[in-house]
Structure 1
Amino acid sequence: MAKSCKFARELLRKLDRLEDLVVRNKSGNTAFCLAAVSGKLELAKEMIKVAKKMVEDENYGNLEMAMIKENENGNLKEEETNKKLKEEIKKKQLEEVEMMKNNGEYLAQVKGNWEMSPLLFAVLYGSEEMVYWLYYLTKASLNDADRIVLLLALITNGFHEFALQLLEEHNELATAYYETEEKETALHALAQLPVANQQGVWKRIKRCFNRYHTLQLLEK
Protein backbone atom coordinates (compact mmCIF):
# COMPACT_ATOMS: atom_id res chain seq x y z
CA MET A 1 0.00 0.00 0.00
CA ALA A 2 2.81 2.41 0.89
CA LYS A 3 4.59 1.69 -2.40
CA SER A 4 1.34 2.20 -4.29
CA CYS A 5 0.77 5.58 -2.61
CA LYS A 6 4.34 6.62 -3.34
CA PHE A 7 3.93 5.66 -7.00
CA ALA A 8 0.65 7.62 -7.18
CA ARG A 9 2.32 10.75 -5.82
CA GLU A 10 5.23 10.41 -8.24
CA LEU A 11 2.88 9.83 -11.18
CA LEU A 12 0.74 12.83 -10.29
CA ARG A 13 3.86 14.94 -9.97
CA LYS A 14 4.58 14.20 -13.65
CA LEU A 15 1.30 15.85 -14.66
CA ASP A 16 1.53 19.57 -15.27
CA ARG A 17 -1.92 20.51 -16.61
CA LEU A 18 -5.40 20.33 -15.12
CA GLU A 19 -6.73 18.79 -18.32
CA ASP A 20 -4.69 15.65 -17.53
CA LEU A 21 -6.89 15.05 -14.49
CA VAL A 22 -10.25 15.44 -16.23
CA VAL A 23 -9.55 13.62 -19.49
CA ARG A 24 -11.99 10.74 -20.06
CA ASN A 25 -11.30 7.23 -21.24
CA LYS A 26 -13.27 5.49 -23.99
CA SER A 27 -16.04 4.65 -21.51
CA GLY A 28 -16.45 8.30 -20.60
CA ASN A 29 -14.91 8.12 -17.13
CA THR A 30 -12.22 10.27 -15.54
CA ALA A 31 -9.45 8.72 -13.47
CA PHE A 32 -11.12 10.24 -10.41
CA CYS A 33 -14.37 8.39 -11.21
CA LEU A 34 -12.43 5.15 -11.46
CA ALA A 35 -10.71 5.85 -8.13
CA ALA A 36 -14.19 6.25 -6.63
CA VAL A 37 -15.25 2.92 -8.15
CA SER A 38 -12.22 1.05 -6.79
CA GLY A 39 -12.29 2.77 -3.41
CA LYS A 40 -8.76 4.20 -3.74
CA LEU A 41 -9.31 6.98 -1.21
CA GLU A 42 -5.67 8.03 -0.84
CA LEU A 43 -5.30 8.33 -4.60
CA ALA A 44 -8.47 10.42 -4.80
CA LYS A 45 -7.20 12.73 -2.05
CA GLU A 46 -3.86 13.14 -3.82
CA MET A 47 -5.66 13.99 -7.06
CA ILE A 48 -7.65 16.71 -5.30
CA LYS A 49 -4.45 18.16 -3.82
CA VAL A 50 -2.81 18.24 -7.24
CA ALA A 51 -5.91 19.76 -8.85
CA LYS A 52 -6.00 22.54 -6.25
CA LYS A 53 -2.30 23.30 -6.85
CA MET A 54 -2.85 23.39 -10.63
CA VAL A 55 -5.76 25.81 -10.18
CA GLU A 56 -3.63 27.96 -7.90
CA ASP A 57 -0.85 28.02 -10.53
CA GLU A 58 -3.36 28.41 -13.38
CA ASN A 59 -1.95 25.38 -15.17
CA TYR A 60 -5.20 24.54 -16.97
CA GLY A 61 -4.10 23.17 -20.32
CA ASN A 62 -6.96 22.66 -22.80
CA LEU A 63 -9.75 22.06 -20.31
CA GLU A 64 -12.44 22.72 -22.90
CA MET A 65 -11.26 19.86 -25.09
CA ALA A 66 -10.93 17.52 -22.12
CA MET A 67 -14.28 18.30 -20.46
CA ILE A 68 -16.72 19.07 -23.25
CA LYS A 69 -18.39 15.92 -24.51
CA GLU A 70 -19.28 15.67 -28.17
CA ASN A 71 -21.89 13.50 -29.89
CA GLU A 72 -19.42 10.94 -31.21
CA ASN A 73 -18.29 9.77 -27.76
CA GLY A 74 -21.75 8.39 -27.03
CA ASN A 75 -22.44 10.46 -23.91
CA LEU A 76 -25.24 12.54 -25.41
CA LYS A 77 -28.62 10.86 -25.70
CA GLU A 78 -30.25 10.48 -29.10
CA GLU A 79 -33.08 12.85 -28.20
CA GLU A 80 -30.53 15.58 -27.56
CA THR A 81 -29.91 16.15 -31.26
CA ASN A 82 -32.13 19.22 -31.21
CA LYS A 83 -29.91 22.22 -31.96
CA LYS A 84 -31.24 24.42 -29.16
CA LEU A 85 -30.86 21.65 -26.60
CA LYS A 86 -27.31 20.93 -27.77
CA GLU A 87 -26.48 24.61 -27.33
CA GLU A 88 -27.82 24.52 -23.76
CA ILE A 89 -25.72 21.44 -23.01
CA LYS A 90 -22.63 23.10 -24.47
CA LYS A 91 -23.28 26.20 -22.35
CA LYS A 92 -23.58 24.10 -19.19
CA GLN A 93 -20.38 22.26 -20.01
CA LEU A 94 -18.53 25.55 -20.52
CA GLU A 95 -19.78 26.65 -17.09
CA GLU A 96 -18.35 23.43 -15.65
CA VAL A 97 -15.00 24.23 -17.28
CA GLU A 98 -15.00 27.62 -15.52
CA MET A 99 -15.90 26.00 -12.19
CA MET A 100 -13.01 23.58 -12.63
CA LYS A 101 -10.68 26.51 -13.29
CA ASN A 102 -11.82 28.22 -10.09
CA ASN A 103 -11.84 25.28 -7.70
CA GLY A 104 -9.67 22.17 -7.77
CA GLU A 105 -12.18 20.32 -5.58
CA TYR A 106 -14.65 20.49 -8.47
CA LEU A 107 -12.78 17.46 -9.80
CA ALA A 108 -14.92 15.43 -7.38
CA GLN A 109 -18.06 16.64 -9.19
CA VAL A 110 -17.00 15.92 -12.77
CA LYS A 111 -19.36 13.19 -13.96
CA GLY A 112 -18.41 10.06 -15.83
CA ASN A 113 -20.29 7.55 -17.94
CA TRP A 114 -24.11 7.65 -17.75
CA GLU A 115 -23.76 11.16 -16.23
CA MET A 116 -22.91 9.57 -12.89
CA SER A 117 -21.00 11.49 -10.24
CA PRO A 118 -17.99 9.99 -8.45
CA LEU A 119 -20.15 9.89 -5.29
CA LEU A 120 -22.76 7.70 -6.97
CA PHE A 121 -20.04 5.47 -8.40
CA ALA A 122 -18.68 4.98 -4.87
CA VAL A 123 -22.16 4.11 -3.54
CA LEU A 124 -22.85 1.60 -6.32
CA TYR A 125 -19.51 -0.15 -5.85
CA GLY A 126 -19.69 -0.25 -2.08
CA SER A 127 -16.71 1.79 -0.85
CA GLU A 128 -17.91 3.13 2.50
CA GLU A 129 -14.93 5.37 3.29
CA MET A 130 -15.02 6.85 -0.20
CA VAL A 131 -18.77 7.46 0.05
CA TYR A 132 -18.49 9.43 3.29
CA TRP A 133 -15.48 11.43 2.10
CA LEU A 134 -17.05 12.35 -1.24
CA TYR A 135 -20.35 13.24 0.38
CA TYR A 136 -18.80 15.76 2.76
CA LEU A 137 -16.57 17.08 -0.02
CA THR A 138 -19.47 17.70 -2.40
CA LYS A 139 -22.62 18.02 -0.23
CA ALA A 140 -22.83 21.81 -0.62
CA SER A 141 -23.21 21.36 -4.39
CA LEU A 142 -26.01 18.77 -4.25
CA ASN A 143 -29.46 19.89 -5.34
CA ASP A 144 -32.81 18.27 -4.47
CA ALA A 145 -32.69 15.84 -7.40
CA ASP A 146 -29.12 14.82 -6.53
CA ARG A 147 -30.12 14.07 -2.93
CA ILE A 148 -33.12 11.97 -3.99
CA VAL A 149 -31.01 9.88 -6.36
CA LEU A 150 -28.34 9.54 -3.67
CA LEU A 151 -30.87 8.41 -1.05
CA LEU A 152 -32.34 5.73 -3.32
CA ALA A 153 -28.85 4.49 -4.21
CA LEU A 154 -27.82 4.38 -0.54
CA ILE A 155 -30.87 2.30 0.39
CA THR A 156 -30.56 -0.04 -2.58
CA ASN A 157 -26.85 -0.66 -1.97
CA GLY A 158 -27.05 -1.25 1.78
CA PHE A 159 -25.77 2.08 3.15
CA HIS A 160 -28.73 2.31 5.50
CA GLU A 161 -27.03 4.23 8.32
CA PHE A 162 -25.89 6.83 5.84
CA ALA A 163 -29.38 6.91 4.26
CA LEU A 164 -30.85 7.60 7.70
CA GLN A 165 -28.31 10.35 8.30
CA LEU A 166 -29.33 11.95 4.99
CA LEU A 167 -32.99 11.71 6.01
CA GLU A 168 -32.19 13.38 9.33
CA GLU A 169 -30.55 16.25 7.45
CA HIS A 170 -33.35 16.49 4.86
CA ASN A 171 -36.66 15.22 6.24
CA GLU A 172 -38.47 16.08 3.00
CA LEU A 173 -36.63 13.21 1.28
CA ALA A 174 -38.85 10.73 3.12
CA THR A 175 -41.67 11.37 0.65
CA ALA A 176 -39.74 12.70 -2.34
CA TYR A 177 -39.30 10.85 -5.61
CA TYR A 178 -37.13 11.38 -8.65
CA GLU A 179 -38.93 12.58 -11.79
CA THR A 180 -38.79 9.37 -13.80
CA GLU A 181 -41.44 6.93 -15.00
CA GLU A 182 -40.88 4.79 -11.90
CA LYS A 183 -41.41 7.67 -9.41
CA GLU A 184 -39.84 5.61 -6.64
CA THR A 185 -39.59 6.92 -3.08
CA ALA A 186 -37.37 5.72 -0.25
CA LEU A 187 -40.13 3.31 0.80
CA HIS A 188 -40.29 1.79 -2.68
CA ALA A 189 -36.53 1.25 -2.64
CA LEU A 190 -36.67 -0.30 0.83
CA ALA A 191 -39.65 -2.53 0.00
CA GLN A 192 -37.70 -4.20 -2.82
CA LEU A 193 -34.84 -5.28 -0.54
CA PRO A 194 -34.64 -8.74 1.07
CA VAL A 195 -36.38 -8.80 4.47
CA ALA A 196 -33.10 -9.32 6.32
CA ASN A 197 -31.80 -6.01 4.99
CA GLN A 198 -34.83 -4.09 6.20
CA GLN A 199 -34.52 -4.81 9.93
CA GLY A 200 -33.90 -1.72 12.02
CA VAL A 201 -34.33 0.59 9.06
CA TRP A 202 -38.08 0.65 8.53
CA LYS A 203 -39.02 2.21 11.88
CA ARG A 204 -36.46 4.99 11.56
CA ILE A 205 -37.49 5.86 8.00
CA LYS A 206 -41.10 5.87 9.16
CA ARG A 207 -40.11 8.27 11.96
CA CYS A 208 -38.57 10.64 9.39
CA PHE A 209 -41.73 10.27 7.29
CA ASN A 210 -43.94 11.25 10.27
CA ARG A 211 -41.62 14.10 11.25
CA TYR A 212 -41.81 15.53 7.75
CA HIS A 213 -45.61 15.58 7.83
CA THR A 214 -45.59 17.14 11.31
CA LEU A 215 -43.33 19.93 10.08
CA GLN A 216 -45.62 20.43 7.09
CA LEU A 217 -48.61 20.87 9.41
CA LEU A 218 -46.71 23.33 11.63
CA GLU A 219 -45.80 25.46 8.64
CA LYS A 220 -49.46 25.86 7.59
Structure 2
Amino acid sequence: MYSSSYVLTDETRIRQLNLYLAAFKGDWDAAEGIYQEYPDEISARITEEGHSALHVAASANHTHFVKQLVNRMTRPDLALMDHDGNTAFFLAAGTGNVELVQFLLQKDKTLAIIRGTEMLPLQRAALLGHRDMVVFLYEITPHDDLHDADRIALFITLINTNFYDVALRLIERYPELAIARDRSEETALHALGRKRSLSSNFTDQNQRGFWKRFLNLC
Protein backbone atom coordinates (compact mmCIF):
# COMPACT_ATOMS: atom_id res chain seq x y z
CA MET A 1 0.00 0.00 0.00
CA TYR A 2 2.81 2.40 0.79
CA SER A 3 5.77 3.45 -1.30
CA SER A 4 8.87 5.48 -0.57
CA SER A 5 12.31 6.26 -1.89
CA TYR A 6 13.63 3.94 0.77
CA VAL A 7 12.59 0.51 1.98
CA LEU A 8 10.06 0.77 4.79
CA THR A 9 10.38 -1.52 7.74
CA ASP A 10 7.37 -3.52 8.88
CA GLU A 11 7.21 -1.33 11.97
CA THR A 12 7.05 1.83 9.86
CA ARG A 13 4.39 0.36 7.59
CA ILE A 14 2.21 -0.51 10.55
CA ARG A 15 2.72 2.91 12.10
CA GLN A 16 1.82 4.70 8.89
CA LEU A 17 -1.21 2.46 8.38
CA ASN A 18 -2.37 3.43 11.86
CA LEU A 19 -1.82 7.10 11.03
CA TYR A 20 -3.83 6.70 7.84
CA LEU A 21 -6.72 5.09 9.71
CA ALA A 22 -6.62 7.77 12.41
CA ALA A 23 -6.67 10.58 9.81
CA PHE A 24 -9.42 8.90 7.78
CA LYS A 25 -11.60 8.47 10.88
CA GLY A 26 -10.68 11.82 12.41
CA ASP A 27 -9.29 10.11 15.52
CA TRP A 28 -6.87 12.72 16.79
CA ASP A 29 -6.18 10.93 20.07
CA ALA A 30 -4.79 7.93 18.18
CA ALA A 31 -2.66 10.11 15.91
CA GLU A 32 -1.36 12.27 18.73
CA GLY A 33 -0.06 9.21 20.55
CA ILE A 34 1.98 8.27 17.48
CA TYR A 35 3.27 11.79 16.87
CA GLN A 36 4.44 12.16 20.44
CA GLU A 37 6.77 9.23 19.89
CA TYR A 38 7.55 9.86 16.20
CA PRO A 39 7.24 13.63 15.56
CA ASP A 40 8.92 13.35 12.13
CA GLU A 41 5.88 11.44 10.87
CA ILE A 42 3.79 14.63 10.96
CA SER A 43 4.69 15.48 7.36
CA ALA A 44 5.41 11.94 6.12
CA ARG A 45 3.82 10.52 2.98
CA ILE A 46 1.79 7.59 4.29
CA THR A 47 0.04 6.23 1.18
CA GLU A 48 1.17 5.08 -2.24
CA GLU A 49 -0.53 8.15 -3.72
CA GLY A 50 1.84 10.34 -1.72
CA HIS A 51 -0.76 11.55 0.76
CA SER A 52 0.23 12.85 4.14
CA ALA A 53 -2.09 12.57 7.13
CA LEU A 54 -3.14 16.14 6.34
CA HIS A 55 -4.25 15.13 2.83
CA VAL A 56 -6.24 12.23 4.23
CA ALA A 57 -7.94 14.20 7.01
CA ALA A 58 -8.74 17.15 4.75
CA SER A 59 -10.29 14.88 2.12
CA ALA A 60 -12.32 13.13 4.82
CA ASN A 61 -13.58 16.51 6.09
CA HIS A 62 -12.25 16.20 9.64
CA THR A 63 -11.84 19.83 10.74
CA HIS A 64 -10.76 19.13 14.32
CA PHE A 65 -8.08 16.67 13.22
CA VAL A 66 -6.78 19.11 10.62
CA LYS A 67 -6.57 21.95 13.14
CA GLN A 68 -4.69 19.86 15.67
CA LEU A 69 -2.28 18.56 13.04
CA VAL A 70 -1.62 21.89 11.33
CA ASN A 71 -0.80 23.54 14.64
CA ARG A 72 2.14 21.14 14.86
CA MET A 73 3.34 21.60 11.27
CA THR A 74 5.66 24.07 9.60
CA ARG A 75 4.42 26.29 6.79
CA PRO A 76 6.21 24.32 4.01
CA ASP A 77 4.42 21.16 5.19
CA LEU A 78 1.07 22.73 4.31
CA ALA A 79 2.03 23.01 0.65
CA LEU A 80 3.20 19.39 0.38
CA MET A 81 1.82 17.85 -2.81
CA ASP A 82 0.77 14.28 -3.38
CA HIS A 83 1.92 12.39 -6.48
CA ASP A 84 -0.84 14.04 -8.54
CA GLY A 85 0.33 17.51 -7.54
CA ASN A 86 -2.50 18.19 -5.08
CA THR A 87 -2.11 20.00 -1.79
CA ALA A 88 -4.33 19.18 1.18
CA PHE A 89 -5.93 22.60 0.67
CA PHE A 90 -6.88 21.69 -2.89
CA LEU A 91 -8.57 18.53 -1.64
CA ALA A 92 -10.26 20.46 1.17
CA ALA A 93 -11.75 22.86 -1.37
CA GLY A 94 -13.59 19.91 -2.84
CA THR A 95 -15.34 19.09 0.44
CA GLY A 96 -17.32 22.31 0.66
CA ASN A 97 -16.11 22.85 4.24
CA VAL A 98 -15.44 26.59 4.36
CA GLU A 99 -14.33 26.53 8.00
CA LEU A 100 -11.60 24.07 7.15
CA VAL A 101 -10.18 26.06 4.24
CA GLN A 102 -10.41 29.31 6.22
CA PHE A 103 -8.25 27.78 8.90
CA LEU A 104 -5.65 26.58 6.39
CA LEU A 105 -5.52 30.01 4.76
CA GLN A 106 -4.79 31.61 8.11
CA LYS A 107 -1.58 29.60 8.09
CA ASP A 108 -0.64 30.18 4.44
CA LYS A 109 -2.60 32.49 2.13
CA THR A 110 -0.75 31.28 -0.98
CA LEU A 111 -2.54 27.92 -0.78
CA ALA A 112 -5.49 29.42 -2.69
CA ILE A 113 -3.48 29.80 -5.90
CA ILE A 114 -1.51 26.54 -5.83
CA ARG A 115 -2.93 24.46 -8.66
CA GLY A 116 -3.83 20.83 -8.27
CA THR A 117 -4.62 18.44 -11.13
CA GLU A 118 -4.23 21.37 -13.55
CA MET A 119 -6.82 23.61 -11.91
CA LEU A 120 -7.24 26.06 -9.08
CA PRO A 121 -8.93 25.13 -5.79
CA LEU A 122 -11.69 27.58 -6.74
CA GLN A 123 -12.33 25.76 -10.00
CA ARG A 124 -12.44 22.42 -8.18
CA ALA A 125 -15.06 23.79 -5.78
CA ALA A 126 -17.13 25.00 -8.73
CA LEU A 127 -16.91 21.66 -10.52
CA LEU A 128 -18.23 19.93 -7.41
CA GLY A 129 -21.07 22.44 -6.96
CA HIS A 130 -20.11 23.92 -3.58
CA ARG A 131 -21.64 27.41 -3.74
CA ASP A 132 -20.50 28.68 -0.34
CA MET A 133 -16.96 27.51 -1.08
CA VAL A 134 -17.01 29.09 -4.54
CA VAL A 135 -18.16 32.45 -3.18
CA PHE A 136 -15.60 32.39 -0.37
CA LEU A 137 -12.67 31.35 -2.56
CA TYR A 138 -13.60 33.86 -5.24
CA GLU A 139 -13.38 36.64 -2.66
CA ILE A 140 -9.97 35.66 -1.29
CA THR A 141 -8.26 34.49 -4.50
CA PRO A 142 -5.78 37.13 -5.77
CA HIS A 143 -7.12 37.19 -9.34
CA ASP A 144 -4.42 39.46 -10.72
CA ASP A 145 -1.85 36.81 -9.82
CA LEU A 146 -3.57 34.17 -11.96
CA HIS A 147 -2.52 33.14 -15.45
CA ASP A 148 -4.81 33.90 -18.38
CA ALA A 149 -5.35 30.15 -18.79
CA ASP A 150 -6.56 29.92 -15.19
CA ARG A 151 -9.09 32.69 -15.68
CA ILE A 152 -10.68 31.35 -18.84
CA ALA A 153 -10.80 27.79 -17.47
CA LEU A 154 -12.45 29.10 -14.31
CA PHE A 155 -14.85 31.28 -16.28
CA ILE A 156 -16.08 28.43 -18.47
CA THR A 157 -16.39 26.14 -15.45
CA LEU A 158 -18.53 28.73 -13.66
CA ILE A 159 -20.82 28.87 -16.69
CA ASN A 160 -21.03 25.10 -17.01
CA THR A 161 -21.91 24.72 -13.33
CA ASN A 162 -24.50 27.54 -13.30
CA PHE A 163 -22.57 29.95 -11.07
CA TYR A 164 -23.63 32.83 -13.30
CA ASP A 165 -23.40 35.48 -10.58
CA VAL A 166 -19.76 34.67 -9.89
CA ALA A 167 -19.00 34.32 -13.61
CA LEU A 168 -20.50 37.76 -14.18
CA ARG A 169 -18.23 39.30 -11.56
CA LEU A 170 -15.23 37.67 -13.23
CA ILE A 171 -16.03 38.83 -16.77
CA GLU A 172 -16.80 42.35 -15.61
CA ARG A 173 -13.32 42.45 -14.14
CA TYR A 174 -11.71 40.83 -17.19
CA PRO A 175 -13.87 41.59 -20.28
CA GLU A 176 -11.32 39.89 -22.53
CA LEU A 177 -12.65 36.55 -21.24
CA ALA A 178 -15.61 36.99 -23.57
CA ILE A 179 -13.49 35.85 -26.52
CA ALA A 180 -10.68 33.93 -24.81
CA ARG A 181 -10.18 30.20 -25.50
CA ASP A 182 -9.39 27.50 -22.97
CA ARG A 183 -7.01 24.56 -23.47
CA SER A 184 -9.69 22.78 -25.51
CA GLU A 185 -10.11 25.83 -27.76
CA GLU A 186 -13.56 26.41 -26.30
CA THR A 187 -14.84 29.92 -25.63
CA ALA A 188 -17.49 31.10 -23.21
CA LEU A 189 -19.82 31.51 -26.19
CA HIS A 190 -19.52 27.78 -26.89
CA ALA A 191 -20.38 26.97 -23.29
CA LEU A 192 -23.33 29.36 -23.25
CA GLY A 193 -24.61 28.06 -26.57
CA ARG A 194 -24.52 24.52 -25.26
CA LYS A 195 -26.36 25.54 -22.10
CA ARG A 196 -29.00 27.36 -24.11
CA SER A 197 -29.57 24.41 -26.44
CA LEU A 198 -30.14 22.16 -23.44
CA SER A 199 -32.75 24.57 -22.10
CA SER A 200 -34.81 25.61 -25.09
CA ASN A 201 -37.21 27.73 -23.01
CA PHE A 202 -34.31 29.71 -21.57
CA THR A 203 -36.37 30.57 -18.49
CA ASP A 204 -33.56 30.76 -15.92
CA GLN A 205 -33.40 34.46 -14.98
CA ASN A 206 -29.78 34.24 -13.89
CA GLN A 207 -28.87 32.62 -17.18
CA ARG A 208 -30.79 35.19 -19.24
CA GLY A 209 -29.30 38.05 -17.23
CA PHE A 210 -25.82 36.71 -17.70
CA TRP A 211 -26.38 36.16 -21.43
CA LYS A 212 -27.51 39.77 -21.89
CA ARG A 213 -24.54 41.16 -19.96
CA PHE A 214 -22.16 38.83 -21.77
CA LEU A 215 -23.36 39.99 -25.21
CA ASN A 216 -22.88 43.60 -24.17
CA LEU A 217 -19.26 42.85 -23.35
CA CYS A 218 -18.52 41.04 -26.63
Describe the shift of the 1:204–1:22 C-alpha distance in structure 2 as closer, same or farther (beyond 3 A). Answer: closer
2:45 paired residue number: none
Distance 1:147 1:37, change over 3 A: same
1:12 Cα shift?
1.5
Unaligned residue ranges in structure 1 (runs of 5+): 52-104, 214-220
Closer, same or farther: CA 153–10 of 1 in aligned 2, 3 Å: same
User: 2: distance between equivalents of 1:20 and 1:197?
Assistant: 51
| 1:204 corresponds to | 210
**TM-score, length-scaled by structure 1:** 0.61
The structure-2 alpha-carbon separation of the partners of 1:170 and 1:205, relative to structure 1 and needing over 3 Å to count, comes to farther
1:196 deviates by 6.7
* Paired letter, 1:205: W
Q: Aligned match of 1:136 in 128, 134, 139? A: 139
Aligned runs of 1:164-183 on 2, under 5 Å?
164-178=168-182, 180=183, 182-183=184-185
CA distance in 2, matches of 1:136, 1:203: 22
> Residues 196, 31 of structure 1: CA spacing in aligned structure 2 closer, same or farther, 3 A cutoff?
farther
Alignment of 1:7-156 (within 5 A): 7-15=65-73, 17-51=74-108, 105-113=109-117, 115-138=118-141, 139-156=143-160
Distance 1:202 1:144 in 2: 26
Q: CA deviation at 1:7?
A: 3.5
CA RMSD of aligned residues (A): 2.4
CA distance in 2, matches of 1:40, 1:135: 15
Q: Is the Cα–Cα contact under 8 Å of residues 151 and 166 in structure 1 kept in the other structure? A: yes
Higher relative contact order (CA 8 A, sep 6+): 1
1:95 aligned residue: none
1:17-70 Cα shifts (integer Å, max 9, x gaps) = 22221112233311001001111211111112123xxxxxxxxxxxxxxxxxxx
Shift of 1:197: 9.3
Structure 2 residue identity aligned to 1:132? V
Q: Partners of 2:164 and 2:211 in 1: how far apart?
A: 10
In structure 2, how many angstroms separate the alpha carbons of the residues matched to 1:5 and 1:127?
A: 17
Matched residue pairs, number? 153
More helix by percentage = 1
Report if the CA contact (8 A) 1:174-1:205 is conserved.
no
| Contact 2:120-2:150 within 8 A present in 1 as well | no
Q: What TM-score results when the alignment is normalised by the length of structure 2?
A: 0.61
What secondary structure, in the 3-state scheme, does the structure 2 residue paired with 1:192 have? helix
Report sequence identity in percent: 39
One-letter code aligned to 1:173:
L
Change in CA separation of 1:26 and 1:111 when aligned onto 2, cut-off 3 Å: same
Partner of 1:190: 192
Runs of at least 4 residues of structure 1 off by over 4 A?
Answer: none
Are the counterparts in 2 of residues 24 and 31 from structure 1 also a CA contact under 8 Å?
A: yes
Structure 2: gaps (5+ residues) = 1-27, 29-61
